[in-house]
Amino acid sequence: MDTVILARAFFGTSLGFHIIFATLGVGLPLMIVIAEIIHQIKGDNDYSIMAKRWTKAFAVLLGVAIPSGTIVGVQLSLLWPGFMEIVGKVISLPFQIEIFAFFIEALFMSIYVYAADRLPRYFRLISVFFVAFGAVASGILITAVNTWMNTPDGFKIKPDGTIYDVQPWDAFFNPSFVSSAFHVAVTAYMTGAFAIASVAAFKLLKKRSDRERAYHLKGLFLSLTVAFLMSFISALSGHHSAQILHQYAPEKLAAAEGLFETQRYAPLAIGGYTDPKTEEVKYGIEIPWALSWLAAGKFDTEVKGLYEFPRETWPPFYVHTLFNLMVGLGTLLLGLAAIALLYWWFFVKKRGRPFPKWLLWFLVLSGPMSMLCIEFGWVFSCSGRQPWTIYRVQTTAEAATKNEDLGVLFLLFLFLYALLSVLTILILTAYFKRNPVSKDMDKISG
Amino acid sequence: MSEEVLAILMMWSFIFIYSIFGSIDFGAGFWAMVYNNHKTMAGTIANRFLSPTWEVTNVFLVLLVVAFVGFFPKGAYTLGTVMLVPISLILFFLAIRSAFMVFSYSVQGYRKTMFFISGISGVLIPSLLIAVLPISQGGFISGDVSNQSLLIAKLFTSPTLYLYVLFGLTSELFLSALFLADYSRVSNNEKAYSLYRSNAILLGPLTLLSALFTLLFMAPEASWLVDNLMGQKIWFILSLLAFCIAYASLWWPKQNRPGIGRPRFTLLVTVLQYGLASVGYGLAHLPYIVYPDLTIYEAFTAKETFYSLMIMYIVGLAILTPGFYIFWRLFLKDKRYLQQE
C-alpha cells in the first residue's frame, strides 16, 4: 500500500473508532440532564436512578473517548503534517476554543463523579449541565474545522502555496459550518437517545418484576421521545446540508446522486450503485424531478453533473452508496421511533398492553443503526471530498506524511482499538451485572 | 517584543505549566504503584489526588499540541513528520493508562492492573516526552526540509537522550514526592508525609547531579546550545539558590506545632527553581525550535490568527478560572475529601 492510502486507512480507523465514543459522549449527557430535570420536577426517583446509571456508563465511555480524542487530535499533525501547517495558519481558532470546552467538560465531570455526595442538588445539576455543554461544544468546534475543509474560506493563497490575507473568524464561520455543526450535534443527540432506547428495549424483552418493568418503560418512553424529535430535526438539517452541497460542493452532490449529465428537472436516484464502466446508476429507483427540487426547492433547478468537472477531481463512486445508507437508515429510524411512540400511546398507555417482541427487537437494533448512520455520514463527508483534503486548495497526497513507518504503527493501534473495545464491553457488563437496577431501587426506598 | 517572541513565550509557559502538572500527575501514578497497600496509606493518598485530576492534566497535554499548531504551524509540520514514532508510542501508552484509570473506578477488580499500568506508564510516557528536547537541539534529523526523518538508531544510542531522560525522571519523582508530601500534610497524614519527605530528600540532589551530567555530556551537535546556556548563567545561579532554600526548608520547624518541614513552601520554591532554569534554557534555545533548520520566525503563524488566538486565550482563561477554583476547593482543600477513610 502506498503511504497516502495507508495514512487514510490509519486516520479513518482512528476517527471511526473515536466517533463511536465521541457521539455517545455528546448524546448521553443530554439524556442525563433531561432525567435530572424530570426528577427535580416530578420527584420520581426512577429518573434519578436513570441519571445515575447513565452517568456510570457515560463515565466508562469517556475513559475511551478522552484518549481516543487525544489520539485523533495529535495524529492530525503526525499523519497530515502538510494539512496542519495550513490549519495552524488559518483555522486553529476552533481547535483552541475546543480546548476550553474540553476543560469545562473534564473539570465538571470530575466534580459530578467524585464530589456528587458533597454537593447540593442544584450544583449537581449545574455540573452535569456543564458536562453536556462542554461535550456538545467540543463536537461543534471540531466540526468547524471539518466544514472548513469542505468549504474553505477566510484566506487567500498564492500559486506557490503562500497563505495571506487570513481572516480567522471567516474561516471559522465558513459557508457550511452552521448547517453541518447543527447536523452533527442533533444526530449525536439522536444516537444517544436511541442507544438508551436499545438498552431499555432489551431489558423489556425478559420477564421482570412490575417495578422494574415500569422503570424500563419510563426510560424507553423518554429516550424514544427525544430520539423521535432529534431524528426529525436531523432529517431537516440533513436536507439543508445537501442544499449547501449543491451550492458549494456540486461535484460531491453529483457523486452522491450518481448524476453525470448537468440538467434541469434532475431525477433523484435511490439505491443501486454507480457503475464506473457505463457511468450511470444501476438498479436504483429514479424519482423524476426530485433532485432538482431537493437541491434548491424548484423543479427547474439546474443540478451539475460529474461531466462538468475534470475527471481527476471526481469523488469515488461508492459515495453514492454511503449517502443512500445514511439517508435510508435515518429515515427508517425516524419511522421506527414514530411507530413505537404511536404504539405506546394507543396500546401501552391506554390499554396497558406490553410492547410486542418484534417491535422491541427492532428497537434493540435502533442504537447500533443510528451509530452506523453517523459512521456512514462521516465517511461520506470525507470520501466525497476526495481527492482533496482542503477542497480545491490541497490534495490528500500533498497533505499526507512522507514517513514510511506507518504500517507497524497502524497494526499497533488496531490492536489498541480492539483491546479498548473488548475492555469497554467487559467493564460495562461487569458493572451493571454487579449493580442491577433493583439494587439502586432498594437503596433509594431503603 | 515581537509577535514571534510573545508566541514562544506563551508556548514555553504552557510547556512549563504542563511539565509541573504532568510531573505531579505521572509521578503520583508511580508512587501509587510503589506504595500500593502500604501501611502509611501513601498509595491511597496519591491515588486520591490522581482520580479526579488526571483528566484535567490530560487536557493540558492536548492544549500543548493545539497551541503549538496554532502558533507555529511550520514547527508542527517538522515535529509531526519527525516525531511520528515516539509520539505514536506516547499516545498508545496514554490511551491504555487513561482507559484503566476510568475502568478501575467502575470495577474494583481492575484496581491492581490499573496501579501497575499507571505506575509503569508514569515512567515511560515522560521519558518519551522529554525526548523532544535532545531532538530539537539538532543532530538527530536527516534529510532536507522537504523530506526529513528521525535518526532513531542514532538517537537511542546517544548518551544525551538517556541523560535527559534521567533528568526528566528524577525531576518528575522529586516534584511529585514534594507535592504528595504537601498533600499528605493537608490530609493530616504525618506518616505518609514523612515517607514522601524522605523520598524528596533523596531525590533532590539526584536531580541536580543528572542536570549537571546532561550538560557535561551534551552531544557535539548541541555545542551551540551549551555556548548559549553559558551566556544565561545568571538564571541558573538563581535557580540553584532557589533549590538550596527549598531543600533547606525540608528541615524547618513546623509553625506552632511539633513536626518538621514546610512542604507547601518547599514545593512553591522548587517550582520557582524550575521556572528560573526554564527561563535560562528557553532564552538559550532562541531563536530555534529545531536546530538548525527551523526558527520561531520561519515557523510563525499568520498574524491575524495569532491575535485572535491571543484574545481567545484571555477570554477562555477568564471563563475557566472559576471552574478551576471550584475544582481546587473540592479536591485539594476540602477536608471531607482529603480525610476520608
Domain ranges for chain A, please list them. 1-176+385-446
Whether residue A356 has a cis bond before it, omega within 30° of 0: no
Average confidence (pLDDT) over B120-127: 90
Cβ-Cβ contacts under 8 Å for A223 (sequence gap 6 or more): A31, A193, A194, A196, A197, A200
Confidence of residue A330 (pLDDT cuts 50, 70, 90): very high
C-alpha–C-alpha distance, residues B146 and B125, integer Å: 29
Average confidence (pLDDT) over A71-82: 90
pLDDT (0 to 100) of residue A417: 95
Q: Please state, rounded to an integer, the average pLDDT across all residues of chain B.
A: 88
pLDDT (0 to 100) of residue A134: 92
Which is it for strands A388-390 and A280-282: parallel, antiparallel or unpaired?
unpaired
C-alpha–C-alpha distance, residues B200 and B179, integer Å: 10
pLDDT (0 to 100) of residue A234: 93
Measured between beta carbons, the chain B residues lying within 8 angstroms of A167 are 304
Average confidence (pLDDT) over B208-231: 87
pLDDT (0 to 100) of residue B197: 92
> ipTM of this predicted complex?
0.88
Burial of A253 from C-beta contacts in 10 A (0-12 / 13-18 / 19+): buried
Confidence of residue B229 (pLDDT cuts 50, 70, 90): confident
pLDDT (0 to 100) of residue A16: 95
Average confidence (pLDDT) over A104-126: 85
Largest Cα–Cα distance of chain A, in whole Å? 74
Taking CA atoms, A130 is separated from A100, A104, A134, in Å, by: 12, 7, 6
Cβ neighbour number for residue A341 with a 10 Å cutoff: 16
Confidence of residue B341 (pLDDT cuts 50, 70, 90): low
Q: Report yes or no: B142 at the A interface, CB cutoff 8 Å.
A: no
pLDDT (0 to 100) of residue A1: 59
Cβ-Cβ contacts under 8 Å for B17 (sequence gap 6 or more): B60
3-state secondary structure of B273: helix
Domain ranges for chain B, please list them. 3-306
Does residue A320 contact residue A273 with C-beta atoms inside 8 Å?
Answer: yes
- A416/B94 touch (CB, cutoff 8 Å), yes or no: no
Q: Which of A300, A215, A210, A310 is nearest to A254 (CA)?
A: A310
- CB proximity under 8 Å: A 114-133 to B: 114-115, 118, 130
Average confidence (pLDDT) over B249-254: 84
Confidence of residue B278 (pLDDT cuts 50, 70, 90): very high
Residue B221 is classified by DSSP as G
Cβ neighbour number for residue B313 with a 10 Å cutoff: 19
Q: Which residues pair with B260 in a beta bridge?
A: B253
Residue type at A106? Answer: A
Whether residue A432 is predicted with pLDDT greater than 80 in this model: the reply is yes
pLDDT (0 to 100) of residue A202: 94
Per-residue pLDDT tens digits for A266-300:
888 887 788 888 878 878 788 888 788 888 888 88
Q: Report yes or no: A209 at the B interface, CB cutoff 8 Å.
A: no
What is the gyration radius of the CA atoms in chain A, in angstroms? 23
- B323/A169 touch (CB, cutoff 8 Å), yes or no: no
Residue B331 is classified by DSSP as I
Give, for A385, the enclosing helix (H) or strand (E). Answer: none
Q: Give A4 to chain B, closest Cα distance, Å.
A: 14
Per-residue pLDDT tens digits for A369-394:
999 999 999 999 999 898 898 988 89
Q: Please state, rounded to an integer, the average pLDDT across all residues of chain A.
A: 89
- A103/B98 touch (CB, cutoff 8 Å), yes or no: no
Q: Which residues pair with A268 in a beta bridge?
A: A287
Burial of A347 from C-beta contacts in 10 A (0-12 / 13-18 / 19+): middle
Q: Which residues pair with B141 in a beta bridge?
A: B150
pLDDT (0 to 100) of residue B25: 92
Q: Which of A141, A16, A173, A154 is nearest to A86 (CA)?
A: A154
- B102/A163 touch (CB, cutoff 8 Å), yes or no: no
C-alpha–C-alpha distance, residues A126 and A33, integer Å: 9
Q: Which has more confidence, B178 or B139?
A: B178
Whether residue B172 is predicted with pLDDT greater than 70 in this model: the reply is yes
Whether residue B75 is predicted with pLDDT greater than 70 in this model: the reply is yes
Average confidence (pLDDT) over B244-260: 82
pLDDT (0 to 100) of residue A254: 83
Give, for A37, the enclosing helix (H) or strand (E). Answer: helix A3-42
Polymer length in residues for chain B: 341
Q: Report yes or no: B70 at the A interface, CB cutoff 8 Å.
A: yes
Measured between beta carbons, the chain A residues lying within 8 angstroms of B318 are none
pLDDT (0 to 100) of residue B146: 67
Q: Report yes or no: B87 at the A interface, CB cutoff 8 Å.
A: yes
* Across A64-73, A134-143, A397-406, B108-117, least confident range: B108-117
* Across A221-225, A255-259, A367-371, least confident range: A255-259
pLDDT (0 to 100) of residue B151: 84
C-alpha–C-alpha distance, residues B50 and B28, integer Å: 7
3-state secondary structure of B202: helix
Q: Report yes or no: B312 at the A interface, CB cutoff 8 Å.
A: yes
Measured between beta carbons, the chain B residues lying within 8 angstroms of A142 are none
Taking CA atoms, A31 is separated from A50, A78, A137, A186, B170, in Å, by: 9, 36, 16, 13, 46
pLDDT (0 to 100) of residue A293: 83
pLDDT (0 to 100) of residue B107: 76
Q: Which of B197, B157, B152, B194 is nearest to B177 (CA)?
A: B197
3-state secondary structure of A272: coil
Measured between beta carbons, the chain B residues lying within 8 angstroms of A403 are 81, 84, 149
CATH architecture of B3-306: Up-down Bundle (1.20)
Least CA distance to B104: which residue of chain A? A427
Whether residue A401 is predicted with pLDDT greater than 90 in this model: the reply is no
Whether residue B115 is predicted with pLDDT greater than 90 in this model: the reply is no
Per-residue pLDDT tens digits for B133-156:
888 888 888 877 667 888 888 888
Take residue B322 and report the three cell numbers written for it: 472559576
Q: Give B273 to chain A, closest Cα distance, Å.
A: 28
pTM listed for this prediction = 0.90
Cβ neighbour number for residue B30 with a 10 Å cutoff: 23
Q: Which has more confidence, A187 or A260?
A: A187
